[in-house]
Structure 1
């Protein structure tokens, strides 16, 4: 008798549960189910930090925090025509690599493929920022002035260079240099790795690197052209190449080399900060260097706020340039103090038409209000 009564009670509860589930809107039911699955370990969020979307070198962590997972699974995504100001943060769902989300400077998530964004709740945003800070500390190098770096990377010292785009590493030895470090690959194997980094051949072009020594990661920049003295003749590298740090300079100038400094700040993850503190004239010069080095993420940072048509014209011309060099320039004063126009003279090497001089290029005038977001 008691057993039959228990069976009736259980049957009533099942009926009530079925009716309750049928009453819930289908989207809410699926969202709740998906959140439940995410939280219970069947999936997680993959948070990654890298210096540009095309970089294969990244550091990441698997996030299983319930607040963050629930926020990303929220149905509160909004369609938006806004042009976001992206950071170096990328989020994807585990097992679903096609759905890659980017984080903007305000901590909002963006699905670029569908032009929609999500505002995270304060609690979830705080946790995201904490996880991002930890990843950035692991991924990027420390800014160290050359006067201090010269002591850490003293002459005849060995250290490791890691490329910020590929993550490839090789050993070098500092042989000489006064205003910067003149270094050489230690062995032929190290030279072969450097060749992979400079896959198009040896060049003076700068690359953002991490210089690793004694457990420290220092933001730096290198070029890839063998030149000068050769202190390790058996390494397959005829000469040495240059490594620059914060405020180091070339042999020909007492002033820091701009393209090297740009790469140092890239290696430190602080390009946006550097541009925010730069004059409009320096921003214009930086844009030319970014175009020459084909640094697409750097170009994006420098042209945030530029009219879409103007940017597309600039990038379409870039495809036909083998190189672009800044020659001269000046800042044109404006009536309003927060707006400046910069005119730069550049020399371009066209793929078919050879060298030519331009008094200005589309987008070569940096507007402080737009670039700095003021």
Structure 2
């Protein structure tokens, strides 16, 4: 009996030793924790499944090495997280894969199919759309094509048909039901306010902006929409040939790139984008451009900014500029909620930045004083107004 017990313990010990060796083997020779795919055109990321990871690693080892170089315009980024450190691979528009040392590999057919499927999964799961130039959007969404428009904030969606437009898309809702959904998005009344939208067509999701006012001619009978409305994409233009900042801010929002598009902007541009966001009711976007000192200042600014129905900059002069500060004398015309007529505001607005390449921010105290002040300010001579 004693001999049998010793044998059992010996067998148990051998099994335990083999299990320990297997764990050590997996730790040393299979160090990958997870692989993530992120997009450069579409913000967001997905984690590959175990089967997708195995296929990716297998096909990467079979891919053909074709030289060395630098990826100039990465479309996708593969992040391979290991127990110690991380490896990154950049993928360009031609599906060439660049590792951190500059080696370039040409993926085989199976790897290209996997990358295409993963990119589509990324697009489907992302809250944002692709920010593509009008020249490309014009081809993806040609005249007479149908697309689904999804409002970015409410996520309500309706169908449209593009009827015309050279520098942007002139579209109409397909049916009366689609018109009703669009009017619901605008709170039951038509408006020129811009809204961030996603245009879904041909398996793609494009960042765009729309206004909510029927105007001009309409050609779809029975849709209860008296005219058409406009959809703008990145760098599209109005009928007058001008890129409309109100639409562009909404495109940046729909693409998740508002911070990226304003990070390196000069003070005057920051100010233009800020007041544009406030005018369009996008206080959350405007707040990203403010430097606020405390909770009380934030509360006071939030209260007055949310009451603004519309805002126009009628005058602007730079009075003082330095590497860390920029001061403007600004004239505003403001329409407040539930208050008829317009208010005039005039005063100095300070923009500041910390050292290095930090983005410019609007000083909250100077903004609050400007929005509340009813005093007239002496405009300095010799500086041209740029209203």
Q: TM range, normalised to the smaller chain?
A: 0.5 to 0.7
Q: Is the 8 A contact 1:185 1:235 kept in 2?
A: yes
| Partner of residue 157 from structure 1, selected from 145, 149, 167 | 145
Q: How far off its partner does 1:256 sit?
A: 1.1
Q: How far off its partner does 1:322 sit?
A: 2.6
Residue 142 (structure 1) aligned with residue 133 (structure 2):
no
In structure 1, runs of 5+ residues without a counterpart are 3-58, 66-120, 128-132
Q: Is the 8 A contact 2:292 2:298 kept in 1?
A: no
Residue 207 (structure 1) aligned with residue 191 (structure 2):
no
> Which residue is 1:337 aligned to?
323
Q: Is the 8 A contact 1:344 1:365 kept in 2?
A: no
Q: Aligned equivalents of 1:346 and 1:212: distance in 2?
A: 38
| Partner of residue 221 from structure 1, selected from 191, 209, 213 | 209
Q: How far off its partner does 1:353 sit?
A: 5.2
SS in 1 for 2:288: helix
Give CA-to-partner distance per residue, 1:75-123, whole Å, 9 cap, x none: xxxxxxxxxxxxxxxxxxxxxxxxxxxxxxxxxxxxxxxxxxxxxx997
> Which residue is 1:314 aligned to?
301
Structure 1 length-normalised TM: 0.60
Q: How far off its partner does 1:365 sit?
A: 4.0
Q: Is the 8 A contact 2:278 2:308 kept in 1?
A: no
Residue 238 (structure 1) aligned with residue 223 (structure 2):
no
Residue 282 (structure 1) aligned with residue 269 (structure 2):
yes
Q: Aligned equivalents of 1:213 and 1:295: distance in 2?
A: 27
Q: Aligned equivalents of 1:353 and 1:291: distance in 2?
A: 18
> Which residue is 1:177 aligned to?
165
1:136/1:359 Cα in 2 relative to 1: closer, same or farther (>3 Å)? farther
1:148/1:356 Cα in 2 relative to 1: closer, same or farther (>3 Å)? same
Give CA-to-partner distance per residue, 1:245-303, whole Å, 9 cap, x none: 11112223x33111110010111111100111222111112111222222232022111
Q: Aligned equivalents of 1:325 and 1:345: distance in 2?
A: 9
SS in 2 for 1:233: coil
1:322/1:168 Cα in 2 relative to 1: closer, same or farther (>3 Å)? same
- Root-mean-square deviation (CA, aligned residues, Å) is 4.1
Which moved further from structure 2: 255-264 or 287-296? Answer: 287-296
Q: Is the 8 A contact 1:303 1:311 kept in 2?
A: no
SS in 2 for 1:278: coil
Q: Aligned equivalents of 1:123 and 1:221: distance in 2?
A: 43
> Which residue is 2:351 aligned to?
366
1:368/1:236 Cα in 2 relative to 1: closer, same or farther (>3 Å)? farther
Q: Aligned equivalents of 2:316 and 2:360: distance in 1?
A: 24
Q: Is the 8 A contact 1:280 1:368 kept in 2?
A: no
The count of corresponding residues between Structure 1 and Structure 2 is 272
> Which residue is 1:46 aligned to?
none
Q: Aligned equivalents of 2:278 and 2:85: distance in 1?
A: 34
1:369/1:263 Cα in 2 relative to 1: closer, same or farther (>3 Å)? farther
Q: Aligned equivalents of 1:125 and 1:195: distance in 2?
A: 51
> Which residue is 1:249 aligned to?
237
In structure 2, runs of 5+ residues without a counterpart are 3-43, 51-80, 88-120, 362-387
Q: How far off its partner does 1:163 sit?
A: 1.0
How do 1:1-374 residues align onto structure 2 when only pairs under 5 Å count?
134=122, 138-252=126-240, 254-305=241-292, 308-334=295-321, 336-350=322-336, 351-352=338-339, 354-360=341-347, 365-369=350-354, 372=359
Q: How far off its partner does 1:348 sit?
A: 0.7
Q: How far off its partner does 1:244 sit?
A: 0.4
Q: Is the 8 A contact 1:280 1:342 kept in 2?
A: no
Q: Is the 8 A contact 1:156 1:175 kept in 2?
A: yes
State the structure with more CA Rg: 2
Q: How far off its partner does 1:155 sit?
A: 1.3
Q: Aligned equivalents of 1:273 and 1:304: distance in 2?
A: 17
Give CA-to-partner distance per residue, 1:300-330, whole Å, 9 cap, x none: 2111455655443332223443322222323
